[in-house]
Structure 1
Amino acid sequence: MAMSKVGRMKLGSQGMEVSSQGLGCMSMSAFYGPPKPEPDMIALIHHAIQSGVTFLDTSDFYGPHTNELLLGKALKGEVREKVELATKFGARAREGKFEICGDPAYVREACEGSLKRLDIDSIDLYYQHRIDTRLPIEVTMGELKKLVEEGKIKYIGLSEASAATIRRAHAVHPITAVQLEWSLWSRDVEEEIIPTCRELGIGIVAYSPLGRGFFSSGTKIAENFTKEDYRQYMPRFQPENMQQNQTIFEKVNELATKKRCTPSQLALAWLHHQGNDVCPIPGTTKIENFNENIGALSVKLTPEELTEIESLADIVKGDRSGKEPTWKESDTPPLSSWKTAN
């Protein structure tokens, strides 16, 4: 399949425009095995931009910090003007433990750190990576609003937030995008989160749209996990669940063969057909996989094919993540409680 032309889309209703598919950069530096060679990753980022994929996604938690530093190097000079750069704050490792923080002073400190590492004057889209359920969302949003007013960030996003939290945050300052895990085997967000975003005019950014790589090769993916790859601890990749999940992959593969595309392309095409407010951000560390991913933009699916594909999600086995908090637990205390306490 020839490489597709990557179009543009409006993300949310605040004026942000991005490429219709983005590039998740996390796996270049962290979590899916050891960090990849810097020159290769910079070459991949430049190839993505030249191909029209200009919406790049990182976080201060990836590494930590090393992924932002990589992007800072890749986007030196005129390249910066060609991209829409998203990064995140709020998740950090302290004394070996995972911690979520939305405290105003920390928000500002994290933003300054990201600006420095990325070597930029302003962050295009700044997400709260995970919601701090210890304090009201209005408190965190108040600081983010100040950062917008100071020109340090252009647009605000939330990641893994509940519908109630999204509404409360949006009332303080308009949210441009909500990032969430959405794929053929992670569809629980369709019940409440997606409709809330659509009602409020918030863009939807789908991370792990290939099921953390599952829809590229099925159970075979687990054979290549290194000791640094945290997917080996995720419930869906456990041997007791993998056998049933392989059935999903085989059915996707069967449909893909009929469509003359790859299973990855079919899984991504399904997301592209969910609406023009959805931007998937598949990650990769290989140029050939990147080229395959943008090929998904050429795959057209009929309503019957979409129904057939969607019937597969019912048989997935295992939770989508381990102990990490998700949007189901991400409601925050009322603002009154914070005012009383402070």
Structure 2
Amino acid sequence: MTPVWTYDRPPRQGLGLMRLRSDPDSPGPDSRDAVALVDAALESGITLLDTAEMYGNEELVGRAIASRRDEVTLCSKFGIRWGDSGRFDDWSVHADAATVVSSCEGSLRRLGVETIDLYYLHQRSEETPIEETVTAMADLVTAGKIRAVGLSNVTVEDVRRAHAVHPVLAVQEEWSLVSRDVEEMLPTLGELGITLVAHSPTGHGVLHRGGATPLGAALADVALVRGASAGQVALAWVHEQGRRRGQPVVPLPGTTSVGHLRDNAAAADLRLSDHELARLDRAALSPRER
């Protein structure tokens, strides 16, 4: 089986599909727009598509990629279940071996595929040892149900323990100018040859708007000079981190808009100067840190 990607040649950028919905009563596009979004992503050179069991849209994603499956690197996640209340904070983590198997079977069925390219544990469990979870995921690799193992929302210790059981291809964590905790994990990922997939690289959309803060002003100024948007500059900042650190980083902006997708794809070609990067870094610090 060919590798999903190699550490020295990861995808340039991905597309997060968390907000993709087919329910006409919920915000987001219908299935026709999902096909247009996937087509636009592939036309823009973005082949890494990321969804999850908990997003409730795997069937929609499956229909959108059905005619172009061989062109897509398909990622999904398992381990988080919604409660019955319907509240956004009502969820629990299930990462035992039986859940790994049943969740994967469900995702394969909903996606309409035989194999998921990259399958993530969505959230670390306080109850199930990560060795049990990853052993079950390794069995899925052997069975041809998934091609690679990923982790999300985990600790450095989790990564080391998991990687000792089976090679971990990618760790998905938030990374942006307003969320930088993952930087403490980077040396371990580099040591183990694991790619960081950086979700929410524009701070859940906050950095698209600029604003009256020092960081908002810095983003707006750089964007004006570069003929770009504040969001594109924020996304370019994440791309530059991989180049500066000599470590692969795959930004994973999420959108349901074809226009925003094309803007995000263009940001991968925006090279920021050392002066611009230093200004953004300085502006992102708290007043006390500055």
Q: Which runs of 5+ in 2 are unaligned?
A: none
Percent of aligned pairs with the same residue? Answer: 41
* Partner residue of 2:147 out of 145, 154, 173: 154
TM-score norm. by structure 2 comes to: 0.89
- In the TM superposition, residue 29 of structure 1 has moved relative to its aligned partner by 2.3
Match among 59, 66, 84 for residue 76 of structure 1: 66
Give CA-to-partner distance per residue, 1:45-89, whole Å, 9 cap, x none: 1111122110000001003xxx11111101113x00001000000
User: Distance in 2 between the 1:308 and 1:248 partners?
Assistant: 9
The residue number in structure 1 matching 2:128 is 135
Which whole-Å deviations, capped at 9, do the CAs of 1:306-337 have from their partners, x for residues lacking one? 111111221399xxxxxxxxxxxxxxxxxxxx
SS in 2 for 1:126: strand
Q: Shift of the alpha carbon at 1:118?
A: 0.5
Distance 1:139 1:92, change over 3 A: same
SS at the partner of 1:130? coil
Contact 1:12 1:202 in 2 (8 A): no
Distance in structure 1 (CA, Å) of the matches to 2:33 and 2:113: 22
Match of 1:213 in 2: 205
Q: Residues of 1 paired with 2:210 and 2:21: CA distance?
A: 23
Q: 1:115 to 1:26 in 2, by over 3 A?
A: same
Match of 1:304 among 275, 278, 285: 275
> Which residue pairs with 2:31 in the alignment?
38
What amino acid is aligned across from residue 25 of structure 1 in structure 2? Answer: L
Aligned partners of 1:84 and 1:299: how far apart in 2? 24
1:94 correspondence with 2:61: no
SS of equivalent to 2:120: strand
In the alignment, is the contact (CA less than 8 A) between 1:19 and 1:52 conserved in 2?
no
Give yes or no for contact 1:56–1:86 (8 Å, CA) kept in 2.
yes
Aligned residue among 13, 18, 38 for 1:21: 13
TM-score normalised to the size of structure 1?
Answer: 0.76
Moved over 3 A (4+): 10-13
The residue aligned with 2:223 is 256
Is the Cα contact below 8 Å between 1:18 and 1:54 reproduced in 2?
Answer: no
Aligned equivalents of 1:260, 1:299: Cα separation in 2:
10
Distance in 1 separating the partners of 2:5 and 2:249 = 8
* Map 1:98-137 → 2, pairs under 5 A: 98-137=91-130
**What whole-Å deviation, never above 9, does each CA across 1:247-306 have from its counterpart, x for those lacking one?**
422221112212222111111111111115100011111111111111112211222221
Q: CA deviation at 1:40?
A: 1.2
Unaligned 5+ residue runs, structure 1? 1-9, 220-242, 318-342
* Distance in structure 2 (CA, Å) of the matches to 1:75 and 1:291: 18
Distance verdict in 2 for CA 1:28–1:271, change over 3 Å: same
Aligned residue type for 2:229: T
Structure 1 residue 154, shift from structure 2 partner: 0.3
Greater RCO between the two (CA within 8 Å, min separation 6)? 1
3-state SS of paired residue (1:315): coil
Deviation for aligned residue 1:11: 4.7
Alpha-carbon distance in structure 2 between the residues aligned to 1:173 and 1:258 = 46
Q: What is the aligned partner in structure 1 of residue 258 from structure 2? A: 287
Q: Say which SS state the counterpart of residue 185 (structure 1) adopts.
A: coil
SS of corresponding position for 1:155: strand
RMSD (Å), alpha carbons:
2.0
